[in-house]
Amino acid sequence: EWTSEAFVETTIADLQAKLGDDKVVLALSGGVDSSVAAILLHKAIGKNLHCIFVDNGLLRKDEYEGVLEQYKHLGLNIKGVDAKDRFLSQLAGVTDPELKRKAIGRVFIEVFDDEAHQVQDVKWLAQGTIYPDVIESVSVNGPSATIKSHHNVGGLPDFMKLQVVEPLNTLFKDEVRRVGTSLGLEHFIIGRHPFPGPGLAIRILGEVTPEKVAILQEADAIYINNLKEAGLYDKVWQAGAIFLPVQSVGVMGDERTYENAICLRAVESIDGMTADWCHLPYQVLAKISNEIINKVKGINRVVYDISSKPPATIEWE
Ligand code: XMP
């Protein structure tokens, strides 16, 4: 019978045998998989694991600081890299969803390559790839996906010449969560909703600008905090707000407004391949809508997405 404790014990021993005194780099995303991979490697090789956490400017509100803090508290040897401007400048004028993904993947590789380079004599690249990623070969979450789907763009970056170590590549998601729990990872990380590698860029329809990112971060934070307060966050598989670049008429006091809309998305799913929209209670939706319209400047309308996958997808882009 598979137990997380036995897995942890044998994996740490295997990693120590395989890696010896070698140095390893790993891209942390704040998600469950890369976090669990990092903790396992840290237990095995300590300071020889060099973690890199890139702020692409497309994370949730306060996420970069919050996650970095958690990781430091876990004792990881981690470097935070503020690359917001590099990502956002490459997204200027780009409206096509796939071109946005490509631009983000390209900048991620550049940034990660620069950083990995600074680790002297690094020999290995660790990734949080899990079993479903191996079979699909296209991972849906985390930086590993970005790396894989773009590795044929131009010449190979230096870090891709490293040997690859993937300690979770035999596990399913629920097993990764169990391993994380037995390693002492907090619910803050274990229970996080999946979040796409391109982040808020694919939740802003059309062109991404710093102003739209700021608006969406505020609205999304109100949404997610209300789900947590109502005890609904853990019951939902994935939730997030979407910025709709359509303007509609509203009234605020005696003033006519003509502003953008926010769409709320919440789904139930097992693996993201199919999904049903969540029947969130009306009073919770009402509170979220009021709070977003009253507090987020630039938004005068909130709508709820009642589409299931298929034929819709979870993300709007
Ligand atoms: P869709 O929108 O295809 O999403 O129904 C299914 C799951 O995949 C996530 N997703 C992505 N994850 N890079 C990622 O790392 C991407 O480009 C990407 N697109 C969608 C989405 O958040 C959902 O969990």
Based on the fold, state whether residues 154 and 284 are members of the same structural domain. no
- pLDDT number for residue 140: 44
Query: 49: domain range?
Result: 4-190
Residues 113/158, Cβ–Cβ less than 8 Å: yes
Based on the fold, state whether residues 180 and 56 are members of the same structural domain. yes
Based on the fold, state whether residues 149 and 23 are members of the same structural domain. yes
Gap between the Cα atoms of 108 and 114, Å rounded: 10
Q: For 203-219, what is the mean pLDDT? A: 98
Q: For 60-84, what is the mean pLDDT? A: 94
Q: CATH no. for residue 79?
A: 3.40.50.620
Residues 137/176, Cβ–Cβ less than 8 Å: no
**Burial degree of 154 (CB within 10 A; 0-12, 13-18, 19+):** exposed
At residue 12, does pLDDT exceed 70? yes
Report residue 88: phi and psi, to 5°.
-65, -35
Question: Is the CB of 150 inside a 6 Å radius of any atom of ligand 1?
Answer: no
Give me ligand 1 centre to Cα 297, in Å: 28
Asked if residue 149 belongs to a known ligand binding site, the reply is no
Based on the fold, state whether residues 158 and 287 are members of the same structural domain. no
**Burial degree of 114 (CB within 10 A; 0-12, 13-18, 19+):** middle
Asked if residue 303 belongs to a known ligand binding site, the reply is no
pLDDT tens, position by position, 130-145: 998 888 654 444 444 4
Based on the fold, state whether residues 10 and 158 are members of the same structural domain. yes
- pLDDT number for residue 202: 98
**In the chain, how many domains are there?**
2
- pLDDT number for residue 132: 87
Could you tell which of 315, 316, 317 is best to mutate to test the pocket of ligand 1, judged by most ligand atoms within 8 Å of the CB? 315
C-alpha dihedral over 153, 155, 160, 162, to 10 degrees?
160
Asked if residue 206 belongs to a known ligand binding site, the reply is no
Based on the fold, state whether residues 108 and 174 are members of the same structural domain. yes
DSSP 161: G
Residue 75 lies in a domain: yes
Smallest CA separation from ligand 1 atom 10, residue: 196
Smallest CA separation from ligand 1 atom 8, residue: 140
- pLDDT number for residue 135: 80
ipTM for the complex shown: 0.99
Domain boundary among 157, 190, 223: 190
Based on the fold, state whether residues 225 and 123 are members of the same structural domain. no
Residues 211/168, Cβ–Cβ less than 8 Å: no
Q: CATH no. for residue 241?
A: 3.30.300.10
User: Which range among 9-13, 14-18, 67-71, 157-161 shows the weakest confidence by mean pLDDT?
Assistant: 157-161
Based on the fold, state whether residues 180 and 213 are members of the same structural domain. no
Based on the fold, state whether residues 130 and 227 are members of the same structural domain. no
Could you tell which of 106, 268, 314, 316 is best to mutate to test the pocket of ligand 1, judged by most ligand atoms within 8 Å of the CB? 314
At residue 150, does pLDDT exceed 80? no
Domain boundary among 160, 190, 220: 190
The pair of structure tokens assigned to 23 is 């140095």
Asked if residue 30 belongs to a known ligand binding site, the reply is yes
Residues 31/194, Cβ–Cβ less than 8 Å: yes
